[in-house]
């Protein structure tokens, strides 16, 4: 298949390009920069110039493909609500190019959209349309396109990690370095799901090849890693103490990230594994945190 990939030079996209090519697909990778174009060409992908802010570049890329994987997202969390709305418009543009065909569109969301009961793992068969996380805009837009006949499926991401980046944990590390302590709230028993980057890239490929309209897949290896354990690993890496803080102290310590730091959102991938034959094999989150070169990476 000829696959249009947004976010092709990003953290997940850069792993997805070789995953798709090695499986026999052709990749049309979107980038906004000369450096991105060079890296895509070197990886064996066709270069497509475009941005999330330019819907025509998204439509034209999707129009020349047999399928689309949308991993691009603006990760400036200080403008999170605005960026979630930007993603809504990007998904609509991609869907417009695929309307009237069976060409698959795989979009990206978060595992929290499958959390229904507090403390219970999020599952693929749950779509909490009243979830307060603004990222719900992505799945709501996917559902809108699905109802219009577009072949949309969703990959829900946990904390995706290797020894360079780890989702929300990357800014967690920067905060701990700045503050001189790695903090967690209360007992730190709240849990974050996780999966290794290469396992996640393989899941996106399998989801595209499955071509199942309306499917939701949880890219989860570990259902829930306690935040205290994460903070302790960061403390080891930075050689700073891991300490408990109160909820009242969280806003001062975490800043914009305080909205996420106390969340307990474990997630299951039982259904995903059964439907796609996906079996993650990568290192655990804590193993990657322990293997990091903190002086070079976590800045």
Least confident range from 68-72, 195-199, 258-262, 273-277: namely 258-262
What pLDDT shows up at residue 245?
A: 97
Q: Which pTM was predicted?
A: 0.95
For 59, 158, 185, 215, the CA distances from 63, given in Å and listed in that order, are: 6, 30, 47, 22
Q: How far apart are CA 72 and CA 68, in angstroms?
A: 12
Q: What is the pLDDT of residues 203-240, one digit of tens each?
A: 999 999 999 999 999 999 999 999 999 999 999 999 99
Residue 275 maps to a domain: no
> Would you say residue 297 has pLDDT above 60?
no
Is 179 found in the same domain as 63? no
Q: What is the CATH number of the domain that holds 122?
A: 3.40.50.720
Is 209 found in the same domain as 179? no
Report phi then psi at 266, rounded to 5: -65, 160
What pLDDT shows up at residue 75?
A: 83
Is 103 found in the same domain as 202? yes
> Would you say residue 299 has pLDDT above 70?
no
What pLDDT shows up at residue 85?
A: 94
> Would you say residue 296 has pLDDT above 90?
no
The larger pLDDT score, comparing residue 107 to residue 257, is at: 107
What pLDDT shows up at residue 223?
A: 97
> Would you say residue 49 has pLDDT above 90?
yes
- Would you say 210 and 275 are in contact if contact means Cβ atoms under 8 Å apart? yes
Boundaries of domain holding 62: 2-159+194-221
The domain total for the chain is 2
Is 123 found in the same domain as 258? no
- Would you say 41 and 230 are in contact if contact means Cβ atoms under 8 Å apart? no
> Would you say residue 255 has pLDDT above 80?
yes
Residues ≥6 apart with Cβ < 8 Å to 130: none
What pLDDT shows up at residue 77?
A: 76
Is 166 found in the same domain as 286? yes
Q: What is the pLDDT of residues 2-45, one digit of tens each?
A: 999 999 999 999 999 999 999 999 999 999 999 999 999 999 99
Residue 146 maps to a domain: yes
Residue 288 maps to a domain: yes
Is 171 found in the same domain as 80? no
Both tokens of residue 286? 């804590």
Is 200 found in the same domain as 52? yes
Residue 276 maps to a domain: no
Look over the chain and give the mean of its residue pLDDT values, rounded to a whole number: 95
What pLDDT shows up at residue 216?
A: 98
298 — pLDDT class (breaks 50, 70, 90): very low
What pLDDT shows up at residue 132?
A: 81
- Would you say 28 and 4 are in contact if contact means Cβ atoms under 8 Å apart? yes
What pLDDT shows up at residue 125?
A: 95
């Amino acid at each position: 298949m000829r696959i249009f990939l947004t976010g092709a030079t990003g953290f997940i996209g850069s792993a997805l390009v070789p995953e798709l090519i090695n499986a026999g697909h052709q990749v049309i990778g979107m980038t906004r920069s000369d450096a991105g174009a060079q890296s895509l060409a070197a990886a064996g992908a066709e270069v497509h110039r475009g941005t999330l802010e330019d819907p025509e570049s998204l439509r034209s890329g999707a129009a020349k493909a047999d399928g689309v994987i949308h991993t691009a997202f603006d990760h400036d969390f200080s403008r999170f609500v605005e960026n979630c709305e930007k993603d809504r418009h990007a998904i609509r543009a991609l869907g417009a190019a695929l309307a009237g065909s069976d060409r698959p569109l795989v979009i990206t969301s978060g595992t929290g959209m499958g959390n229904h009961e507090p403390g219970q793992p999020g599952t693929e068969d749950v779509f909490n349309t009243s979830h307060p996380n603004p990222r719900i805009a992505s799945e709501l837009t996917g559902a809108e396109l699905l109802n219009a006949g577009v072949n949309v499926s969703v990959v829900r991401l946990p904390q995706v990690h290797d020894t360079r980046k780890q989702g929300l944990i990357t800014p967690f590390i920067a905060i701990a370095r700045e503050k001189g302590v790695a903090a967690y709230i209360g007992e730190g028993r709240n849990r974050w799901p996780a999966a290794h980057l290469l396992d996640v890239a393989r899941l996106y490929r399998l989801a595209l090849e499955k071509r199942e309209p309306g499917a939701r897949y949880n890219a989860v290896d570990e259902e829930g890693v306690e935040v205290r354990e994460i903070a302790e690993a960061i403390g080891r890496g930075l050689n700073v103490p891991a300490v408990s803080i109160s909820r009242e102290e969280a806003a001062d310590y975490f800043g914009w990230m305080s909205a996420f730091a106390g969340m307990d959102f474990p997630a299951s991938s039982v259904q995903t594994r059964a439907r796609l034959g996906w079996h993650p094999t990568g290192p655990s989150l804590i193993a990657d945190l322990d293997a990091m070169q903190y002086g070079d990476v976590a800045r």
